[in-house]
Structure 1
Amino acid sequence: MKKEIFTFKRLVLVIATTVFSFSSSTTAFFTMGLKSLIWLAVAAVFYFLPFAIINSEFTSAYPKSQSSLYDWLADNLSAKIAFITTFIWYASYFVWMTSLFLKLWIPFGLLIFGKDISQMTTIFGVSAKMVLTILTIFGIVMLTTIINRGFLKIAKLMYVSSILMIGLLILTVGTNLILSLSHPDMILPNLKKAATSKTFFETTNLTGFISQLPFLIFAITAFGGLDTVSSLVEKVGNQHNKFSKALLAGGGIVLIFYFLAIVSWSMGTTVTTNTQTHLGNLMYALMSQLARNIAPNSPLISELYVRYTALVMFTAYLALLATIGYAPLKVLLHAGNRQIFPDKLLKTNENGIHFKAVRAQAMIIGAFVLLVSVGTPLVTTLYNQLTLMTNLARSLPYLLVATAYPFFKEKFTSDYLKLVKHSAVARVLASSVVMTVLLAIGFEIYTTIVSNGVIATLFLIIGPLIFAILANYLYERKANEINPLRRSRQSNS
């Protein structure tokens, strides 16, 4: 990677803003108030910081690996477990990509028209549903073109998105700070209200402390992205020897970002909502309200705040889609010693991109988008259930990586960034990640049973299970093709 794209400082910035999610900070504030900081702190101490250390050591030990996650698990657990885990990991990102493409034009509409065009009936006399479908297909083609032009283009998009995100954070924290200092008598009442208000998750079946439990899985996913960033280690050129330190530095900055964002919202903003406010447009509603608080007689300021937020989120979606459209697919294709998939999918263009695989991925996502846009009950239900299981499927690889870590510490003797010297400490870190993720999964399943019933819970579990069965089939089929003696023994048995 060229030096001007990924100096150490830029690398830290990109890592921090890839993991930090502005929408997660506003959602945390809105749903849990200051109580969200407690759960984010729990997730940080018992999951994020140990997982950052584990990722840092793995990326330091495998600086040239193109299949990061797979190599970590294959070398320290087994090749079969590694492939199945990598396949589930990719599948969860595939579903997420489809969801993001469907949401891509919400910030675009706010940026250009100042309104959510997904809520409109017609656009320029044409069905809004048709226009959004066409725009989404166009977005898929545009992102596929960016990916096929090479990682340099993706890196530039990531860096631009990072700069804009920092600007949005400064705008938010700064405005809330000005509001707080101009009304110092309201700081303590606002903080008290943010600390004692009911949680968003409270229902007749979920009350008190129990109603906070669903937030743990959200807190863990709010720190998501380290796995994707870690898979780019071989792409950072001369900075690969500093990548592990950049991961840790970026992780520390993420914690600061979340703290600043949530505390500043709690100090300076009293939330008022209406029937049109939901988690999808929450951040725009909060930014509009923040602008009205700082300049009550200036609609222009409110427009600027909302449109800048939309610009940041549109750019962030593009950068995120380009990154997850490239990195997980790259890891999956290089998994299994490149033996699982047809040779034509492994061909690269002059930019080093598996262009045929990227094109196939785009076509499948496009088909999903068209099916969802048609809106038949069966397809819509299926898509909603796939989306429901995404958090669970994304968390499973974290369990396996943490499980592999103590074995890695015992087996790997080459030179790398050894942050942990003793095997007992390695086991503590791994156990902390595993237990935290298992608790979050348990809470997710429990609250899904209570709130949505057994059927929704079964889909929550069946999704990753189906992907695991499919991955196992692909792996076993190839293993039998490669090893005729094994196939002969299986047929005789």
Structure 2
Amino acid sequence: MSEKSKNIKHLTLIPLVLMIFTSVYGFNNIPRSFYKMGYAAIPWYILSGITFFIPFAFMMAEFGAAFKDEKGGIYSWMAKSVGAKFAFMGTFMWYASYVIWMVNVASTVWVPISNAIFGTDTTKTWGLLGLTGPRFLGILGIFWIIFVTIISTKGLDKIKKVTSLGGTAVALLNIVLFIGALLVLVGNHGHLAQPITGISSFIDSPNPKYVGNILQSFAFVVFAIFAYGGIEVVGGLVDETENAEKNFPKGVVISAIIISIGYSLGIFLVGIFTNWSTIMTGDNVNLANAGYVVMNNLGYSLGNAYGATQATSIAIGHGVARFVGLSMFLALSGAFFTLMFSPLKQLIEGTPPKLWPGKMAEMKNGMPQNAMWIQAVIVCVIIFLVSVVGGDSMKKFIEILVSMTNVAMTLPYMFIAFAFAPFKKNKAIIKPFEIFKTNTSALIWTIVVMFTVGFANFFSIIQPALEGDLPTTLWSVGGPIFFAVVAFIIYWNYERKYIKNL
């Protein structure tokens, strides 16, 4: 019995690679990237992979191997490398990014539900009691947050039942895209729906917003960095990995290479059956439903390539969209139930209990229930504010949510990367695995990673304002600033009450 438990508890290399892959690789990032830039997104993914994802993954591997016995995750890494205050600020910003993610997904999870039921996105027409579009989805999002919080506070067993379906659903989606695209290519005798006319096809975007607008292209880098996000979460798996000093870094490296290639290949596969100008330019297409539009088109193109009637091709398209809608709903639900407690629990358990006022740090059923309800209230308030500001324009509403999420979830990487250089210099920290052999190489790659993230976020934040879209800029920067101030106040109060009185 004990041997069986041991086998279940410890991850070998292949399960670790699969777990990292499913934690980082987001299927929806592929059609969204094609919607924004077409094939021209591929070089930016490759560049972001080289200057951010792969070196950052190597950093996570070194951190993880060195602190494999630590339970505090990234907080422990930064605290032992830089200091407790810096670690708390960085970890709180990291946690806050998931709060913003919840705001986004709670308001857009209804798009896959619509596709699962109707075979297309009809959320633009939904309404009740005079509330339509973003406002109605915002209200539904608030009810969703309350529902998920109620279930999540009951304990981990309730959550596992939902999350197990999510991983399988995402894996199937990628298989459908890969096989479906190749079948369309064969059926169309090698003809690409989005033609390649030379190297310019991978440089010049078909999207008019990006033509001659280098600021838009620079801003896209933050989208690519967001797509690579999540590698820091698996740092907490080191102590559960068999032969961690060897297998964990190897698993991270293998996963990083597969994911980098996977995104670029996926964007190309979409171009096999999707013509950007024909499919992606409709008023009903936005960042929330781009994946369903693309996959609906895959089904239609599949029927069309093999001589099916128009009606049959449309029916196949709706069928694929329903499958994608159900799969994405299961995947998003699984992620939501996990992220409702996991980052918050890591934040509370990894930091000094006295940091948290009242009974926030109190655990019930293995969950920080009081903190989870405070979190739910904050998320609901933000959803309400953003859905009202979003007005009646569904596309504008989605763009604000996506921009907020991208910025919030990538800024904390600057904190983690910054801690790497002092981590390497600290000889007291035993480092069983090292990719960066010298302090100089570590410093150079720390600067490269921080510059890439900072550069991308700077342009992502200012670009909307320069084009007259001030609300998107304000919302993008407002969330991180708000949570940075909250983190500062919490730690200042902790220092005032406990540290300075010692």
TM-score bracket, normalised by the shorter chain, equals 0.7 to 0.9
Q: How far is the alpha carbon of 1:332 from its aligned partner? A: 2.1
Of 19-28 and 43-52, the range deviating more from structure 2:
19-28
Which residue in the other structure is 1:144 paired with?
Answer: 149
Tell me, in whole angstroms, the C-alpha distance in 1 between the residues paired with 2:63 and 2:203: 41
Which residue in the other structure is 2:341 paired with?
Answer: 326
Equivalent pair of 2:52/2:453 in contact (CA under 8 Å): yes
1:180 matched to 2:192? The reply is no
1:431 matched to 2:438? The reply is no
1:354 matched to 2:354? The reply is no
What letter is aligned with 1:288?
A: N
Which residue in the other structure is 1:200 paired with?
Answer: 207
Change (3 A) 1:94 1:158: same
What letter is aligned with 1:480?
A: R
What letter is aligned with 1:267?
A: I
SS in 2 for 1:419: coil
Which residue in the other structure is 1:287 paired with?
Answer: 295
- Aligned 1:101-112 pairs, distance under 5 A: 101-112=106-117
Change (3 A) 1:10 1:201: farther
Deviations 1:275-324 (Å, cap 9, x if unpaired)?
A: 21222211111111111111132233222210111112111211221232
1:81 matched to 2:83? The reply is no
Tell me, in whole angstroms, the C-alpha distance in 2 between the residues paired with 1:24 and 1:375: 25
1:219 matched to 2:243? The reply is no
Q: How far is the alpha carbon of 1:399 from its aligned partner? A: 1.1
- Aligned 1:398-417 pairs, distance under 5 A: 398-411=413-426, 412-417=428-433
What letter is aligned with 1:198?
A: S
SS in 2 for 1:345: coil
Tell me, in whole angstroms, the C-alpha distance in 2 between the residues paired with 1:209 and 1:382: 24
Q: How far is the alpha carbon of 1:146 from its aligned partner? A: 4.7
Equivalent pair of 2:72/2:351 in contact (CA under 8 Å): no
What letter is aligned with 1:358?
A: M
What letter is aligned with 1:39?
A: W
Tell me, in whole angstroms, the C-alpha distance in 1 between the residues paired with 2:274 and 2:400: 35
Change (3 A) 1:85 1:199: farther
SS in 2 for 1:178: helix
Equivalent pair of 1:201/1:214 in contact (CA under 8 Å): no
Tell me, in whole angstroms, the C-alpha distance in 2 between the residues paired with 1:301 and 1:382: 30
Change (3 A) 1:474 1:382: farther
Which residue in the other structure is 1:113 paired with?
Answer: 118
1:13 matched to 2:18? The reply is yes
Which residue in the other structure is 1:258 paired with?
Answer: 263
Over the aligned positions, Cα root-mean-square deviation in angstroms equals: 3.4
Which residue in the other structure is 2:357 paired with?
Answer: 342
Tell me, in whole angstroms, the C-alpha distance in 2 between the residues paired with 1:437 and 1:127: 38
What letter is aligned with 2:337?
A: A
Deviations 1:258-278 (Å, cap 9, x if unpaired)?
A: 122112122343232322122
Alignment equivalent of 1:393, drawn from 393, 408, 411: 408
Tell me, in whole angstroms, the C-alpha distance in 2 between the residues paired with 1:383 and 1:182: 35
Equivalent pair of 1:190/1:269 in contact (CA under 8 Å): no
Equivalent pair of 2:193/2:273 in contact (CA under 8 Å): no
Which residue in the other structure is 2:56 paired with?
Answer: 51
- Aligned 1:423-462 pairs, distance under 5 A: 423-452=439-468, 457=473, 460-462=476-478
Tell me, in whole angstroms, the C-alpha distance in 2 between the residues paired with 1:267 and 1:387: 26
What letter is aligned with 1:356?
A: N
Deviations 1:319-370 (Å, cap 9, x if unpaired)?
A: 22123222221232134422210362222234x2222222332243344445
**Mind listing any 5+ residue stretches in structure 1 that lack a counterpart?**
487-493
Q: How far is the alpha carbon of 1:255 from its aligned partner? A: 1.7
Deviations 1:65-106 (Å, cap 9, x if unpaired)?
A: 333222222211121121122222222221221221111122
Change (3 A) 1:208 1:136: closer
Change (3 A) 1:417 1:161: farther
**Mind listing any 5+ residue stretches in structure 2 that lack a counterpart?**
none
Which residue in the other structure is 2:325 paired with?
Answer: 310
Tell me, in whole angstroms, the C-alpha distance in 2 between the residues paired with 1:428 and 1:169: 36
Tell me, in whole angstroms, the C-alpha distance in 2 between the residues paired with 1:222 and 1:446: 20
Change (3 A) 1:196 1:409: closer
Change (3 A) 1:473 1:423: same
**TM-score normalised to the size of structure 2?**
0.84
SS in 1 for 2:283: coil
1:40 matched to 2:39? The reply is no
Tell me, in whole angstroms, the C-alpha distance in 2 between the residues paired with 1:239 and 1:128: 54
Which residue in the other structure is 1:490 paired with?
Answer: none
Change (3 A) 1:237 1:2: farther
What letter is aligned with 1:277?
A: V
Alignment equivalent of 1:61, drawn from 60, 63, 66: 66
Alignment equivalent of 2:33, drawn from 17, 23, 28: 28
Tell me, in whole angstroms, the C-alpha distance in 1 between the residues paired with 2:454 and 2:477: 13
Tell me, in whole angstroms, the C-alpha distance in 2 between the residues paired with 1:451 and 1:334: 43
Equivalent pair of 1:392/1:460 in contact (CA under 8 Å): yes
Tell me, in whole angstroms, the C-alpha distance in 1 between the residues paired with 2:142 and 2:10: 31
Change (3 A) 1:120 1:400: same
Alignment equivalent of 2:75, drawn from 46, 70, 74: 70
Q: How far is the alpha carbon of 1:256 from its aligned partner? A: 2.8
SS in 2 for 1:225: coil
Equivalent pair of 1:221/1:391 in contact (CA under 8 Å): yes
**TM-score normalised to the size of structure 1?**
0.85
- Equivalent pairs, count: 479
Deviations 1:21-56 (Å, cap 9, x if unpaired)?
A: 222111212222222110000000010000001111
The alignment-based identity, stated in percent, is 27
Of 299-308 and 383-392, the range deviating more from structure 2:
383-392
Equivalent pair of 1:13/1:162 in contact (CA under 8 Å): no
Of 339-348 and 430-439, the range deviating more from structure 2:
339-348
